[in-house]
Structure 1
Amino acid sequence: MKLKSLLFACSGILLGSLHLAGSAIGADRVTGESFATRSEVIAQNGMVATSQPLATQVGLDVLKQGGNAIDAAIAANAMLGLVEPTGSGIGGDLFAIVWDAQSKQLYGLNASGRSPLSLSLDEFKKQGLSEIPKFGPLPVSVPGAVDGWFMLSERFGSLPMQNLLAPAISYARNGFPVSELIAYYFSVNQQRIGQYPGFEQTFTTNGNTPKKGEIFKNPALANTYEKIATGGRDAFYKGDIARTIGAFMKQQGGFLSYQDMAAHYSEWLEPVSSNYRGVDVWELPPNGQGIAALQILNILELYDIEGMQRDSAEFIHTFVEAKKLAFADRAKFYADPAFNQIPVDWLISKEYARKRQQLISPSKASKRVDAGKNEGDTIYLTVADRFGNMVSLIQSNYRGMGSGMIPTDLGFVLQNRGEMFSLQEGHFNQYEPGKRPFHTIIPAFVTKNNKPLMSFGVMGGGTQPQMHAQIIVNMIDFGMNLQEAGDAPRILHTGSSSPTGHKMLDGGYISLESGFSEKTRRDLGQKGHILTDSVGAFGGYQAIMFDDKNKVYYGASESRKDGQAAGY
């Protein structure tokens, strides 16, 4: 297999060519693929890529003021909690992978929260539930994001938290214009959780969520951020904020308590990797789903992907069947390692991939696996600085704005990540007190020869490992540059065993973005695949790549959302 010189030289010049039928987004471009929305952003001193331009600018300002990538990532994440509360906020969890230029090593952070200690499996049985509700007090787990900020800052940061939260505090008090996509998701979330206390007060004006271009303010969140900035992480987990959360949840019939907040801690952990045709792809181990991307890539490496057309039933069938196998393992094994022995090394081994590949028929879609969940809005951001540090950070409330539980006058929604627990006794991911649920949000990183190459992520529930694998395949096998790899039409399969133990459509179904030909769709049907539309479910992408030869960063952002990559 001959690797494309793009990936190693990072020249940004596409050497290969791949035509995707029907993709006319950039048909008049004089360079690169026709489906590309723009060329890559290139800069020497630093790069920030987030899902909202205002957050990108906040991160860039921190870099210009002398902060490092970790500082800028925290500031940008705080800003996203304000400008994109439909997918993020301090009521949710956080995961990160950090390349530390000084030690020349990767570090992983799991800042996900645990289930309430006072809530038992018997309580769900007593309420006659076979699955945990999507909204309300029962799916709420401890929010881990704020502790994640302080863990990152204390180990790698260079600026005080007051400096990092100041921009978001200012925007929260003075207001910002709401973008088109966020205005849409505000209205969607009002239908989901608008009936809960605090939503109308916090997120509406005269009962209406903000429209595109309207100025939105969140003074309650500004006050909360100020308490965190001056009082540190204990202001959130052991101070008035924690007491407010505990009292509110009790009032709503929930179980998350002050004691649960005070007992929270995040964990540093070692990222795990698999080599794909010469590059090392890094993910975090469970309770997240990152190793599913590695399992998919290990199986795909056994095929001549470069010899296939991307717009072909052959490639899509091979990809989907590999995904089904990985997600079957995801459903069985991925859970909190503090409660289970998870065979991570075996699952991501090449030997195991060869065994699993034998189950794939080249001509027939498998029907033996059950569908998993693919819902959940998230934010992903990545930052690189002039010192060589790079951060891959992902953060979410799950299901858009989360549970609908908005603690009194705090300005944010608590997550509903606990919904991802299974209520089946004996399941690896069964509900237990003080346990971290199966998690969908995953940051990714790529190295070559033990040097940093690329920090990237794709938002969107169970979409994420599928898109991680597609980004790598797009660049390695199909010769795309950083922006093209994200712009290329995506493949989404919904259909493997669920981490909650529930079953859906046998064999699942494939959703293809516009840009794949009708012939390919017909050919997939002849192999036994079921195709369906799934508008808006293909995730959101951000990425930064380092060109070691020219000592510059390449940045790319998501055309499907409001993202921006910018550098200086």
Structure 2
Amino acid sequence: MRDFQFPGRSPVRATEAMAATSHPLSTLAAIDMLRSGGNAMDAAVCAAAVQAVVEPQSTGIGGDCFVLYCPKGQGEVIAFNGSGRAPGAATVEWYLDKGFNELPLHGPHAVTIPGAVDAWCRLLEDHGRKGLADALAPAIRYAEEGYVVHDRVAFDWHDPETDLSADEVATHIFLPGGKPPKAGDIHRQPELAETLRIIARKGRAGFYEGAVADDLVGRLRALGGLHKLEDFAATKGDYRTPVSTSYRGHDIHQMPPNNQGLTALLMLNVLSGFDLGRLDPEGAERLHLEIEAGRLAYQDRDAFIADQDHVDVPVQALLSCAYADSLRAAIDPEHAMTHLPRLDLPGSDTVYISVVDRDRNAVSFINSTYYSFGSGVVGPKTGVVLQNRGSSFRLDPKHPNAIAPGKRPMHTIMPGMMTKAGRAVMPFGVMGGGYQPFGHVHVVTNMIDFGMDPQQAIDAARVFYNHDVVEAERSVHPDAVESLRRRGHRVVEPDHPLGGGQAVLIDWEKGTLTGASDPRKDGLALGY
């Protein structure tokens, strides 16, 4: 139990159903959907659509999504890959011939074909109870009538790295009066409202064909992009088998490559050989082991993870006990490793949604346009912000993640699912670009090794190894910071909080749900 004399929030507890998102309007929309007869998948898509409006810096219908789903909370976990692909004309040779040294972070060449709308339609058709029109109705209302800008959204909107002024359409929509909205301002997106209405009427064809696709492809082509209408029409997500590992009696499931979820499993396999539970959960010894496990796992992430439809990824070898043993042997509990290459990992803006309904259908759902406002390219008639996932590709033709026609890039957004003895225990996720494997591991070990409830596990102070330094949030105890420095780490305070997460814990014996939402964002968990 938390100390009620300190700031913080309690977990949310209920019996029937629970939703946790990073925005209050999104959580409310999910609860309304559940109470009106929808199931967890209906609620998750509805929540994601609302966030595509009210968190425009983080997500949108011009982005991608991934989903882990455990029907009725029992049996196999289903994975759906809703990430988009490179245009059919995108080759390494084309970019090298044009003088590119790397894929840009912004502009048309950063844009892969959005996969989110196709995924939403397919998931509702296969697993939902209600139709697309019902799922999109709250988002359409907020886009048309306006929504109040929340505090974390305003903070991100004012990020100096967000250059909306580079695109005249983005400026018109997202810099009203020439400046970003402030917390408490009302913002409207009428162009997006009309686009959502078209999708509600026509389904996936309303986005990937016809006027909406014409607008997006026309804008990309005008800016020099390689995209064609055929690329949009051919977009299709697919079901995949999750990758999984066992950690102290619990099974942790992630999306397979092209997703980076494997990285979290590598970290857990390494950490499983240490008796974390005897350590101080806020102490340097525990944080150091997490940092070093992450540094090792991320080397393999960058070396191997790519689209398995195009290259072989040695998943089973990477997840083997023998390989974990070999990685673990390189860790010195008292000294930071000095032989590993530099890590330069991107941040991103993402939304994560966790929903469990009365039938215990458990959904772990993540949606993103990657960097703040994605590529910065916006459809002039549709108001659609296009993602910049293409920037994750490499231009080294020998690298597994080299760009190629119709190929998916290495992808950062990762939903998580914890199960035990064949039953869902917790859909969970932690946002934050390259930070996400660290975040998943921190939450999982907080709960399993240190007995924290989901809210405590998400609230807990975080560290992240990036750019050859350890980023330690201000809440990390000064003694732990100094002890990390004595181990050889350079420790700095990050400019932004590290990630944001949600989770819903299922207690099958008591018949209860416990929800949590990260105070680093605007959201909350609600149940009934």
Q: Give TM class, smaller chain.
A: over 0.9
Q: 1 CA distance for matches of 2:283 and 2:186?
A: 46
Task: Return 5+ residue gaps in structure 1 as ranges.
Answer: 1-13, 15-25, 495-504
Q: 2 CA distance for matches of 1:539 and 1:155?
A: 31
Equivalent residue, structure 2, for 1:151? 122
Q: 2 CA distance for matches of 1:525 and 1:110?
A: 40
Deviation (angstroms), 1:517: 2.7
Runs of 4+ in 1 over 3 A off after TM superposition: 26-29
Q: 2 CA distance for matches of 1:557 and 1:325?
A: 29
For 1:311-390, list aligned pairs within 5 A: 311-367=282-338, 368-390=340-362
Deviation (angstroms), 1:208: 2.5
Q: Secondary structure at the match of 1:198?
A: helix
1:516 aligns with 2:487: no
User: Alpha-carbon deviations, 1:299-323, whole Å to 9, x = none?
Assistant: 1110110111123222122111111
Q: 1 CA distance for matches of 2:396 and 2:450?
A: 42
Equivalent residue, structure 2, for 1:245? 216
Deviation (angstroms), 1:335: 0.5
Q: Cα distance 1:517–1:206, how it changes in 2: closer, same or farther (>3 A)? A: closer
Q: 2 CA distance for matches of 1:249 and 1:336?
A: 24
2:62 to 69, 91, 97: 91
Conserved 8 A contact 1:378-1:397: yes
Task: Return 5+ residue gaps in structure 2 as ranges.
Answer: none
The AA in structure 2 aligned to 1:232 is G
Q: Secondary structure at the match of 1:288?
A: coil
The AA in structure 1 aligned to 2:290 is F
Q: 2 CA distance for matches of 1:92 and 1:153?
A: 18
Deviation (angstroms), 1:399: 0.7
The AA in structure 2 aligned to 1:474 is N
Q: Structure 1 vs Structure 2: percent identity of aligned residues? A: 38
User: Alpha-carbon deviations, 1:36-81, whole Å to 9, x = none?
Assistant: 7111101111111111000110110000100000001011000000
Give TM-score, length-normalised by structure 2. 0.97
Q: 2 CA distance for matches of 1:522 and 1:104?
A: 46
Q: Secondary structure at the match of 2:81?
A: strand
Q: Secondary structure at the match of 1:408?
A: coil
Conserved 8 A contact 1:245-1:258: no
1:556 aligns with 2:526: no
Equivalent residue, structure 2, for 1:21? none
The AA in structure 2 aligned to 1:493 is Y
Deviation (angstroms), 1:189: 6.9
Give TM-score, length-normalised by structure 1. 0.90
1:412 aligns with 2:384: yes
Equivalent residue, structure 1, for 2:417? 445
Conserved 8 A contact 1:178-1:216: yes
Deviation (angstroms), 1:537: 4.3
**Greater Cα offset, 123-132 or 375-384:** 123-132
Q: Secondary structure at the match of 2:108?
A: coil
1:220 to 191, 195, 209: 191
Q: 2 CA distance for matches of 1:469 and 1:517?
A: 20
Conserved 8 A contact 2:73-2:362: no
1:199 aligns with 2:199: no
Q: 2 CA distance for matches of 1:185 and 1:171?
A: 20
Q: Cα distance 1:356–1:190, how it changes in 2: closer, same or farther (>3 A)? A: closer
Conserved 8 A contact 1:135-1:193: no
Q: Secondary structure at the match of 2:331?
A: coil
Quote the RMSD (CA, aligned, Å): 1.5
Q: 1 CA distance for matches of 2:103 and 2:324?
A: 33
Equivalent residue, structure 1, for 2:401? 429
Q: 1 CA distance for matches of 2:97 and 2:38?
A: 52
User: Alpha-carbon deviations, 1:419-462, whole Å to 9, x = none?
Assistant: 00011120111111211001000000000111110010000001
**Greater Cα offset, 186-195 or 258-267:** 186-195
The AA in structure 1 aligned to 2:30 is G
The AA in structure 2 aligned to 1:115 is A
Q: Secondary structure at the match of 1:282?
A: strand
Equivalent residue, structure 1, for 2:363? 391
Q: 1 CA distance for matches of 2:461 and 2:416?
A: 20
User: Alpha-carbon deviations, 1:277-305, whole Å to 9, x = none?
Assistant: 11111111110110111110111110110
User: Alpha-carbon deviations, 1:523-553, whole Å to 9, x = none?
Assistant: 2222211111113241011100111111111
**Greater Cα offset, 96-105 or 553-562:** 96-105
Give aligned pairs, total: 527
Q: Secondary structure at the match of 2:252?
A: strand
For 1:276-287, list aligned pairs within 5 A: 276-287=247-258
Q: Cα distance 1:517–1:204, how it changes in 2: closer, same or farther (>3 A)? A: closer
Deviation (angstroms), 1:28: 4.1
Deviation (angstroms), 1:197: 2.6
Q: Cα distance 1:331–1:537, how it changes in 2: closer, same or farther (>3 A)? A: farther
Deviation (angstroms), 1:351: 2.1
The AA in structure 1 aligned to 2:441 is A
Q: 2 CA distance for matches of 1:252 and 1:285?
A: 33
1:71 aligns with 2:31: no
Q: 1 CA distance for matches of 2:475 and 2:494?
A: 14
1:42 aligns with 2:13: yes
Conserved 8 A contact 1:289-1:330: yes
Q: 2 CA distance for matches of 1:406 and 1:73?
A: 25
For 1:467-482, list aligned pairs within 5 A: 467-482=439-454
Conserved 8 A contact 2:243-2:256: yes
Equivalent residue, structure 1, for 2:490? 530
User: Alpha-carbon deviations, 1:217-255, whole Å to 9, x = none?
Assistant: 111111000000000101111222112111111111111
The AA in structure 2 aligned to 1:476 is I
The AA in structure 1 aligned to 2:247 is Y
Q: 1 CA distance for matches of 2:118 and 2:96?
A: 32
Q: Secondary structure at the match of 1:430?
A: coil
Equivalent residue, structure 2, for 1:8? none
The AA in structure 1 aligned to 2:351 is I
Equivalent residue, structure 1, for 2:373? 401
Conserved 8 A contact 1:334-1:342: yes
